Structure 1
Amino acid sequence: MDQQKIGKFICSLRKKKNLSQTQLADMIPISRQAVSKWERGITIPDSSVLIKLSEIFAVSINEILAGEKIPKKSIKTLEKVTLNILDETNEESKKIKKISLTFTAVILILLITFLSYYFLNSYNSIKVYRVDGEGKNFATTNGIFITTRQKTYFRLGEITHEPNVKISKIKLYYKIKNKDYLLVETESESLLLTDYYGYDAYFPFNKVNTIIKNLYLQITFSNSQKETIKLNVTKDFSNNNIIFQKKTKISDGTSSKTTKSELTPEKKNIIESIKNKGKKDRDGYIYETANLIFVYFEEEKQLEVIKTEDNQKEEWFYFLETNHLFYQKSTNTKITSKESSSDKDDTLHRNFTDNYLNKYLLS
């Protein structure tokens, strides 16, 4: 599958419709950056978006994946000529038609099977959610909930409350049809749950989408006061569309807000370096080496590094303002990911800085 060809085809279809990237993104709906990545051949649309693009541009999904218009008449003409040449008797003609239909059916089944496997197994297989919540007496921020096809990972974020009371009990549960289902009840403020497909010790895999919409946290304090809040679970990342939202939040006691920091001289040097070494693109700058692609999105202050070799793909997503770093490695059979929102004293930041920033942009 030629991603560059697909991207150019989508770009040409968009221009024929006299649509900007933003207008096309709003029609789907999806982010403008996602459209830009398709057209540059960095990623391709997922299955649900392919259907929408097919409707907007009045082309088939197969044509989008082929990156060109497929002449339908040529297929029918070829079948007709073949049948005419071999049609010596009515009986032979019927046999040939039957073989032709059988062959076409087999090809269609193989194509559908391949596309189904490709999209069901390669796209949307990992999702990362941010978990936050705020009540009258406490707030929790920077929690994380990761779901994959084989595993779920939930970590409750930092809990802030009045200093004159202590937490005596934490209860995490979800609701379905007004019925409470307990996930965990503990006296510890550090809450980490890991579950695997088939075990369903905490999270029934077939109910994860319902759970994230109906997740509740109850805190019992040392003065016997209780408070329950509904947790806000918002998607931060999914590997069908590499879209990040800057949502590193803290509580000030009354509200949650996005935290940004001034760019350090080192980060300013990173931006200046990729501008000098790379070329201007619609959304920012692109700098390419033998097996690396550096993409800097100017508006979002986001740096993306893509490494492709030996049938595997590694991607780094670095937000310079919030210092959030996300890493994903994809092979034919497995997808792994890591994230960090701390400073560069952790392993993930150190590896990224040493192997990519220092070596290619700050040298």
Structure 2
Amino acid sequence: MRAHDHWTTTPITAGLLRGALDLEVTGHGVLPHRLPARARAQNTDGQLAMAESQPSGVRLAFRTRATAVELDTLPTKRAYPGAPPRPDGVYELLVDGRPAGLGTVAGGNTLTLDLTTGETTLTPGPVGTLRFDGLPGHAKDVEIWLPHNETTELVALRTDAPVEPAPDRGPRVWLHHGSSISHGSDAATPTTIWPALAASLGGVHLINLGFGGGALLDPFTARALRDTPADLISLKLGINLVNADVMRLRAFTPAVHGFLDTIREGHPTTPLLVVSPILCPLHEDTPGPSAPDLDGLADGRLRFVALGDPAERASGKLTLNAIRDELARIVEQRAADDPHLHHLDGRALYGPADAAELPLPDGLHPDAATHRRIGERFARLAFTGEGAFAA
């Protein structure tokens, strides 16, 4: 047991956090949320509830002379019967904006999800401690990025010198919404999910509303985007609407218009970039739903298969190509009256040549190398030259 006689324990408040829209007080500490309480109250989907509580893009940010930092957390780890064990979520330390360490927290709760039945079981576990030491002793900006794919209750922050909230140095705020690919899917660390990479290259502060399985044009998500202060907004729409098979073309078009209308109520002239799906051979011309390949799961491999019939496109079932065409048409139509609305074809971020070189390992989600490629391309296409977010 380490002695903390001369350490400072700092209450974890919203002022120490970036990237969260709400902070819930729990029995152990506080839980960052990426949807506000009003939106969570209207949600009935367990998948979205889990995804928004996973702190993708959320980080503690403070200024201190401390040479050692400890953070007590209660993680909730996921387990899938029959699938390989998932690695512990990664915490990433930045000092004055530069990578300075990685860590994990053992223990915590375990949420077991049975992909064959949909049943979930929560097994309680203990609080764990993350420690970074050997930091330089001068005054510095410190960020601890929380695991992008692991629900994380924050219990206590201890340092061997006082801390204060990081100063606002004025970079623009980029508010992004998307699917599990934006959430981080199989990226290696929280700062190497593609939106975090793009934000770093673009010199902006990220608020990431990428929700695994949850980019479904929900009105409460549109209102959260509307009500969140931002200088730049992007929406990456499409893949979840196909693999969840929640609507057909007749409903999709007015739903997109309504989503954009709601955002524009709060951000009438903010640059707004609509990004269509990256290439996903599974659903280019085959509708959803998609589901885990149970035969592969029995062999310890998680892959997805498309269950729709291409013939159903005639009745309005959505495919990625259909969504790309309609998003391009909608943006072109609206841009006549909205010069700050822009469109980007997702295949410019990951297209056929990329799929040949870096195929999606499970059929749906990019790996770490592909996240880097997508992030670098988005930064170049959006933040430079004639891009929608160029300064």
The bucket for the TM-score relative to the shorter chain is under 0.3
Larger C-alpha radius of gyration, 1 or 2?
1
Higher strand share: 1
Bigger relative CO (Cα 8 Å, ≥ 6 apart)? 2
TM-score under structure 2 length normalisation:
0.26
